Amino acid sequence: MFGVTILGNNSALPAYDRHPTAQLVTLNEQLFLIDCGEGTQMQISRYRIRHSKIGHIFISHLHGDHYFGLIGLITSMGLLGREHPLNLYGPAALIEIIELQLKVANTTLPFPLLFHPLENEGLILDHPKYSVSCFETKHRIPCWGFLISEKRNPRKIIREKVIEYGVPAAFYDFLKKGDDYISKSGDIVSNELVTIANLPDSSYAYCADTRYTESIAEKVMNANLLYHETTYLKDLEERAITRFHSTTIQAANFALKANAQKLLIGHFSSKYEKLDEFLQETKSVFHHTELAIEGVSYRID
């Protein structure tokens, strides 16, 4: 299971019961939280998510609608007796703010808070089953996007062939990685005889807040699901440029450039009560588009 649940889809100000940005990525048993606007801990409760399962939090940038809920969530985890480590990734100044807030409250967290400052583009988390990398977007202040990939073995076993060639089950994991099998008698069973190519890794690209920037597309090529902000409808392109945000049409063009399978749009301006036009405009250029709706989960693979 690889998917993303939207906890907040609004920009800047909360409005119409839409909340500031927060997204929860589920990857097997892992929960990754991306951004954490004010009220995220309430949204987590509302959708009955167990925040103890969140192992990694990624903060894109230090505009409040992307992190003002973080200190509350961390403090609540502490009050509820969390003991296992929490990994936090974000701009360097984030930890300064959190440490100051813990200090004035005379609070010591009962769990290790492991902070990883975002400084360079590239891999920030590497696990046998998944990886996370970060890339810079174009925003008014430094801002990071995230690419979360589920790693797949390059090869898939052909059940009847491994039986036919007598490869023992203990060797299957090596076959999946592409190794040939050498029997006790020295016979070589070529990997291609007993496996086929697996699907490529699946990935979720979170493009954070950004002005439309084509060069970012190469960082997130071929994502199964691409999240791109659409703060404004297409008629406000000038405003989008000035404020370092994007429109529907720009997000759709970006998805084409990046060869995304599906596009998820969000970070809607509080000036819009209804969201239908966001979907219509974006779909007119990139058909496989969905609105990021709070409480809804979207499959990635």
Tell me which residues are annotated as active site: 65
- Segment interacting with a copy of itself, rule: CB under 8 A, options 88-96, 181-189, 229-237, 285-293: 88-96
Query: Helix, strand, or coil here: 180?
Result: coil
Site for a copy of itself in 24-63 (CB under 8 A): 38-39, 41-42, 45, 62-63
Distance between CA atoms of residues 248 and 275, nearest Å: 11
Shortest distance (Å) from residue 124 CB to a copy of itself: 20
- Region from 12-20, 198-206, 217-225, 252-260 binding a copy of itself, contact rule CB under 8 A: 12-20
Contact yes or no for 35/60 (Cβ under 8 A): yes
Minimum CB separation of residue 112 from a copy of itself in Å reads 20
Nearest to residue 191, comparing CAs of 230, 162, 163?
162
Residue (41 or 230) nearer to a copy of itself, CB: 41
CB of 213 to a copy of itself, least distance (A): 19
Element (H, E) at 26: strand 22-27
Which of 83, 179 has the CB closer to a copy of itself? 83
Reading the block at residue 86, the tokens are 């929490």
Chosen residue from 79, 163, 188, 197 binding a copy of itself by CB under 8 A: 79
Among residues 83, 96, 119, 179, which is the contact residue for a copy of itself, using CB under 8 A? Answer: 96
Size of residue set near a copy of itself by CB under 8 A: 33
Question: Contact with a copy of itself (CB under 8 A): which of 30, 75, 87, 222?
Answer: 75
Closest CB to a copy of itself among residues 26, 76 = 76
Judged by CB under 8 A, which stretch of 103-111, 171-179, 190-198, 199-207 contacts a copy of itself?
103-111
**Binding of residue 101 to a copy of itself (CB under 8 A):** yes
CA distances from 16 to 104, 234, 297 (A): 34, 21, 20
Nearest to 266 by CA among 278, 255, 257, 277: 278
- 104 belongs to the binding site for a copy of itself (CB under 8 A): yes
User: Which of 33, 35, 4, 39 lies closest to 19, judged by CA?
Assistant: 39
163 is an interface residue for a copy of itself by CB under 8 A: no
Q: Any idea which residue has 């925003």 for tokens?
A: 139
3-state helix, strand and coil shares in percent for the chain, rounded to the nearest 5: 30, 30, 40
Looking at residue 165, its amino acid is Y
Q: How far apart are the first and last CA of the chain?
A: 8
269 is an interface residue for a copy of itself by CB under 8 A:
no
Q: Measured between alpha carbons, how far is 273 from 265 in angstroms, rounded to an integer?
A: 16
Residues 6+ apart with CB under 8 A from 100: none
Please identify, using beta-carbon distances, which residue of 14 and 55 lies nearer to a copy of itself. 14
| Site of interaction with a copy of itself (CB under 8 A) | 12-15, 19, 38-39, 41-42, 45, 62-64, 68-69, 71-72, 75-76, 79-80, 91, 93-94, 96-97, 100-101, 104-106, 140-141
